[in-house]
Homo-oligomer: A and B are copies of this chain.
């Protein structure tokens, strides 16, 4: 089982999912709800239904689900994965997760994956957003210099 926001898909996501898939036979992906993303990071660009539908379109993905808002462990009880694969930069603490799973009598291995060594610096969602904004500000500056088109 892999988890994430998957807002504006990029090769870092693909790498994470491929590394997760290597650990087992079936890759189930849990996509965070908009409410959860707002709580943990920022407003998502893409709504949750579209994020989960896009994830389902990836070859590497066997199953995709939207997470629950109240209890992040509820979906683990439903999917019953053998392994949870954490991305290298995911804020979740592996020990906390292991303890919470034990409390719920869920026998799941938790594995922290290695970092993606991308060939480009345009990998993360934040970098994509930065590039969009930089292009927009450059365009506005040009319009001030050249006049409106």
Which residues on A are within 8 Å of B, measured CB to CB? 8-11, 14, 42-43, 45-47, 49-50, 53-54, 57-60, 119-120, 122, 128-129, 131-133, 135-136
Contacts and interface: CB of A to CB of B under 8 A. Distances in A.
B128 A11 contact: no
Contact of A47 (B47, B50, B120): B120
A34 to B, nearest CB: 12
A136 B43 CA distance: 11
Contact of A8 (B14, B42, B59, B128): B128
Contacts of A14: 53-54, 57
A11 B52 CA distance: 11
A24 B45 CA distance: 34
Contact of A136 (B58, B60, B119, B133): B133
A45 B135 contact: yes
